[in-house]
Amino acid sequence: MAFLQVSLYLNLKHKKMNAQPDPIKVAFILPAFYRNGAVNLIVNLAEHLTSHNIEVELFAVRECEQRSPLPKAPVKFKTVLKEYQSTLSGLPKLLYRLVRSVLNADVVAYTWENGILIPGIIAFVLRKPTIAIVQNNIQRVSENADNRDRERTIRRWVYNRCQAIVCVGNGLTSTIEPGIDSAKVMPIQNGINVEKVRRLSQAACPAQITKFIEDDTPFIIGVGRLTSQKGFDLLIRAHAAAINQGAQHKLVLIGEGEQKDDLSRLVKELGVSDSVVFLGYLSNPYPVIAQATLFCLSSRYEGFVLVGAEAAALGVPTVATNCVSGPKELLLDGLYGDLVAVDSVGELAIAIQRHLENPQRLIEKASASAQKADRLSMKLCASRYSELLHRCAGQ
């Protein structure tokens, strides 16, 4: 009898010693499931974190008709307000659901630079550990905002109460505003699902692009929201300048946004309507990116360029503006592609023309980048977030 008791005790002790700790619960706060790279990152990250003993909930403040793909199980998600509903009218419902989500979480993560006051106060009152994820150049994003000073004050209050402030690119650490504790700032480079991107790139291209390929027509590509930040006006002007210098090619733009009409007018003014193609939003842009002669990033500022990382994983020759953060890290200071000055139509046009006349140099750089695509892996990114989140949760 005594032997059985000892055996049972040792067996239970062994199980306890080898038992995995309870999963930690993390709530990521988003404004909405917008169709952009910042949201795609959080959805992709959330799905990868579930394999790190983490239960994830994505809490979106409002619904969005043109939304990013929603996360897959076991990631939980919820939205509260209707797309055009005012925050004030839905405030009681928002507060109730937000309090429940924060109360259930071991760690709360802010994924946006603005709209963080209410979740920040709730997390503070409930004494929940928090992190902030900075995905853009805050100084540039807020420089023309009417409520700039108020938002800066809110960010200082919320960020200084976080356990960590994560910048998605090394360069972003220098853009954190004064008054925020720099000791809490740390970089974790964004990641992509390399295997998935490569698999999706094998699908068929739209007919218009297939025609370019069949006719052996070189085409350069720009991908992103049609906004001032992305600098597509600069890319269109550089395209027109290269055409005028005899470098015949097409320009393909993938994306949608508020500058579509302005950019369409610019195309007509420059007389390049026959060589510029607006493809709009594509749920799978990777076949087009993979077939492009050149990927051009013309942004005025960035955080980390997800689509640039995807182009790098596909081995597409790349020219990018040398923003404070993003392209320089992605291209390793020019080792894996060419960097040009921000806002310089002239430099961008010369880089385009040079590649079209002598493509081998950038092709070799792109090939070397694709061979090192593991450096861009979401697995590596998620592992670093996992370490941080477990540490914040006290595990």
Task: For 329-385, give the DSSP string.
Answer: HHTGGGTSSEEE-TT-HHHHHHHHHHHHH-THHHHHHHHHHHHTGGGGBHHHHHHHH
The structure's pTM equals 0.87
Same-domain status, 387 and 351 = no
The answer to whether position 13 is within a domain reads no
Q: Are strands 185-187 and 164-167 parallel, antiparallel or unpaired?
A: parallel
pLDDT of residue 16: 47
Same domain, 359 and 388: no
Which class for 202: exposed (0-12), middle (13-18), buried (19 or more C-beta within 10 A)? exposed
Which residues, 6 or more positions from 36, have their beta carbon under 8 angstroms from its beta carbon? Answer: 68, 225
Q: Which of 170-174, 223-227, 276-280, 373-377 is least confident?
A: 170-174
| pLDDT above 70: residue 9 | no
Q: For residue 106, what pLDDT is reported?
A: 97
Q: Is 12 inside a domain boundary?
A: no
Q: Does 363 lie in the same domain as 218?
A: yes
What is the pLDDT, as a whole number, of residue 102?
Answer: 96
What are the tens digits of pLDDT across the range 280-309?
999 899 999 999 999 999 999 998 889 999
CATH code, domain carrying 234: 3.40.50.2000
Question: Token digits for 50?
Answer: 């579930």
- Among 324, 330, 352, 392, residue whose Cα is nearest residue 250: 352
Gyration radius of the chain over CA positions:
23
Asked if residue 256 and residue 125 are part of one domain, the reply reads no
Statement to judge: residues 178 and 217 lie in one domain: no
Q: Evaluate whether residue 183 is within a structural domain.
A: yes
Better-scored residue on pLDDT, 64 or 362: 362
Residue 330 dihedral angles phi and psi, to the nearest 5°: -60, -45
CA 152 centroid distance within chain: 22
Alpha-carbon span 116 to 27, nearest angstrom: 13
Domain count, the chain: 2
What is the pLDDT, as a whole number, of residue 145?
Answer: 66
Do 176 and 272 have their domain in common? no
Residues 165 and 299 in one domain: no
Structural tokens at position 256: 């949608």
Contact present, 321 and 231 (Cβ < 8 Å): yes
Quote the CA–CA distance of 389 and 173 in Å, as a whole number.
19
Domain identity same for 208 and 276: yes
Both 71 and 159 in one domain: the answer is yes
* Structural domain contains residue 9: no
Query: Distance (Å, rounded) from C-alpha 229 to C-alpha 55?
Result: 34
For position 141, what pLDDT does the model report? 72
Q: Is residue 187 domain-shared with residue 218, that is, in the same domain?
A: no
Q: Distance between CA 380 and CA 395 in Å, rounded?
A: 20
Q: Do both 145 and 251 map to the same domain?
A: no
| Cβ–Cβ under 8 Å, residues 57 and 101 | yes
Same domain, 268 and 157: no
**Residues facing 61 on adjacent strands:** none
The whole domain housing 214 covers 194-376
d(Cα 226, Cα 15) in Å, to the nearest integer?
56
Comparing 42-46, 73-77, 144-148, 388-392, which segment has the lowest mean pLDDT? 144-148
Q: In what order do the strands lie in the sheet with 250-254?
A: 276-280, 250-254, 219-223, 294-297, 318-321, 338-340
**Is residue 68 situated within a structural domain?**
yes
Share of the chain above pLDDT 90, in %: 71
DSSP percent split of the chain into helix, strand, coil, nearest 5:
50, 15, 35
- Within a domain: 19: no
